[in-house]
Structure 1
Amino acid sequence: MANEPQVRMSLRTRLRTLYEGQTDAADRFRYGLLAFDLLTIAFLITTSFIARSTHTETIDAVIGVIYLADVAARLWISPRPLRDLVHPYGLADIAVVVSLLAPLYGEGLAFLRVLRLYRTLHSPQTLRQLRQDWPFFRANEGTVRAAINLVIFVFLMTALVYELQSPVNPKIATYLDALYFTVTTLSTTGFGDVTLTGETGKLLAVIIMIFGISLFLRLIQVMLRPSKVDHKCPTCGLRRHDHDAVHCKACGTILNIEDDGAV
């Protein structure tokens, strides 16, 4: 009994290392979480084309248990668990767990699992890991992140359209129908063969057009502007510089920007 607090603290330390550390095991663990989030989204899309059965509900329950364990672990290692619990990401995690473990009451919230992917891809640990492991990401981080934001938005709105419209709209029968509507609306093509019904449908279409076009223009802006790297100047704090800069353009301080030597 005397060793129980030490064992509990040791387990908490190991979990914190996996979630926030810089070891090889931590890198593999975070890549595993990212892969699992991608698989659950793929499963959500796939099951939209088939009738729900006992097997799909069982898989949803297993995913829900894994998500519940992940949420519990994050809260346990957090220095401020209550703040993290009421954070939008924390509330979204709880909603996803409820939608998977109690589908009769929360099935319509299944689309929120896409937000887990956003959180994973934007965590400081994952970004640091991607910069270290992928030279392409390091050289084109702004473009890649803008593209990821747009793709996640498309999948989030597609899932939201499907979850809210498929029960009441015969034109949204599968996830592909919802994806088709989302892309045509975001691109302002608007063929008109698939439309949303009700006030909620109109509101969704407005949100897709306003935020989707903004994210798309942001991606174009990042792609067309000169290539920059994130490297904070030790003197004036300017964060973005040309990838081949030797001196800070703001104060003239000599920089030491890491470079792989590739042209």
Structure 2
Amino acid sequence: MRHLYEAGTPPAKRFRYALLGLDILSIAWIVIASFLPPSSLVLTLDVLLGLVLASEFGMRIAASGVPLRSLVNPFNLADLVAILSLLLAPLLQGAMAFLRVLRTLRLLHSVKLITTLRSDLPFFRRNEEATLAAAQLLVFLFVMSGVVFETQHRANHGIGNYADALYFTVTTLTTTGFGDVTLPGTTGRLLSVVIMLAGVTLFLRLAQALFRPTKVRYPCPACGLERHEPDAVHCKACGQLINIPDEGNA
């Protein structure tokens, strides 16, 4: 199992890409379920998804080699709570459904997984920084939209489903602030402040990655400088001859 989670072989990479697909599927279900009224079908799908995620969680903890230490990792604990909220959905009858939003934190792990694409896709190697910045902004949007939905939809008539929460998050992040949806109370205002400050920071980082000159990552064997011009022959810091792989000689 550790080989599947950590090795760089093609089968191990395919396994981790399958996990990425599972993460995306679980987040998609959380979004879709926000539009559906409680029913036996929805509860059954909750439990089935919870069983699949619980199996993967057990494999992940076992593969770590230090199960207890991995189990108390905050992100793993959050994932476990989200999985339990799915497994116990028929008993809780939606009372603790807000806990499933913790599953969106797995997207942070997915961003780390995306870095393995560096060795698989030339496009990702050329646009790695912009791609990661976009992925981090997307993760922030999903996580904060989930938090807004789960904390507001029971009492705020303006937040009826995940799409409403996403709409509020995007308008707040971009400082558009149409005013048709607001979060009342001190907690709501503080949440809006967090969305504006953190979101604008991530948005500016994406803009910076998109518009500044493209550079490639390749450690200089002499001084260790990693970022170079795509057509560089010598390291600009120390003058060392470098041989940056490209699509023709990678």
Q: Which category of TM-score, normalised to the shorter sequence, fits these structures? A: over 0.9
Pair 65,220 (structure 1): closer, same or farther in 2 beyond 3 Å? same
Which residue identity lines up with residue 112 of structure 1 in the other structure? L
Pair 236,106 (structure 1): closer, same or farther in 2 beyond 3 Å? farther
1:126-179, CA deviations, whole angstroms, 9 ceiling, x for partnerless residues?
522x12222211110000000010011011111110011001111101111111
Residue 84 of structure 2 is aligned to residue 98 of structure 1: yes
Which residue identity lines up with residue 164 of structure 1 in the other structure? T
Q: Sequence identity, in percent?
A: 50
Which residue in 1 is equivalent to 2:211?
224
Aligned partners of 1:106, 1:47: CA distance in 2, in Å?
Answer: 14
Aligned partners of 1:91, 1:256: CA distance in 2, in Å?
Answer: 44
Which residue in 2 is equivalent to 1:173?
160
Counterpart of 1:66 in 2: which secondary structure? helix
Residue 109 of structure 2 is aligned to residue 119 of structure 1: yes
Aligned partners of 1:27, 1:257: CA distance in 2, in Å?
Answer: 24
Given the two structures, how large is their TM-score scaled by the length of structure 2? Answer: 0.92
* Alignment partner of 2:188 out of 195, 198, 201: 201
Aligned partners of 2:81, 2:231: CA distance in 1, in Å?
Answer: 46
Aligned partners of 2:34, 2:76: CA distance in 1, in Å?
Answer: 26
Q: How many equivalent residue pairs?
A: 245
Which residue in 1 is equivalent to 2:120?
133
Q: How does 1:25-104 map to 2 (within 5 A)?
A: 25-103=11-89, 104=92
Aligned partners of 1:212, 1:70: CA distance in 2, in Å?
Answer: 31
Aligned partners of 1:77, 1:33: CA distance in 2, in Å?
Answer: 14
Q: CA deviation at 1:261?
A: 4.0
* Backbone CA RMSD of aligned residues: 1.6
Pair 85,147 (structure 1): closer, same or farther in 2 beyond 3 Å? same
Which residue identity lines up with residue 132 of structure 2 in the other structure? R
Counterpart of 1:199 in 2: which secondary structure? helix
Counterpart of 2:228 in 1: which secondary structure? strand
Return 50-59 or 77-86, whichever deviates more: 77-86
Q: CA deviation at 1:84?
A: 2.1
Q: CA deviation at 1:228?
A: 1.3
Aligned partners of 1:109, 1:192: CA distance in 2, in Å?
Answer: 28
Which residue in 2 is equivalent to 1:162?
149
Structure 1 stretches of at least 4 aligned residues deviating more than 3 Å after TM superposition: none
* Alignment partner of 2:7 out of 8, 21, 45: 21
Provide structure 1 residue ranges, at least 5 long, that are not aligned to the other structure: 1-14
Pair 146,55 (structure 1): closer, same or farther in 2 beyond 3 Å? same
Q: Tell whether the 8 Å contact from 1:100 to 1:106 is kept in structure 2 after alignment.
A: no
Aligned partners of 1:35, 1:136: CA distance in 2, in Å?
Answer: 20
Counterpart of 1:122 in 2: which secondary structure? helix
Provide structure 2 residue ranges, at least 5 long, that are not aligned to the other structure: none
Which residue identity lines up with residue 55 of structure 2 in the other structure? A
Which residue identity lines up with residue 5 of structure 2 in the other structure? Y
Return 99-108 or 19-28, whichever deviates more: 99-108
Q: Tell whether the 8 Å contact from 2:223 to 2:237 is kept in structure 1 after alignment.
A: yes
Q: Tell whether the 8 Å contact from 2:124 to 2:131 is kept in structure 1 after alignment.
A: yes
Return 212-221 or 249-258, whichever deviates more: 249-258
1:113-132, CA deviations, whole angstroms, 9 ceiling, x for partnerless residues?
22112202314xx522x122
Return 207-216 or 69-78, whichever deviates more: 69-78
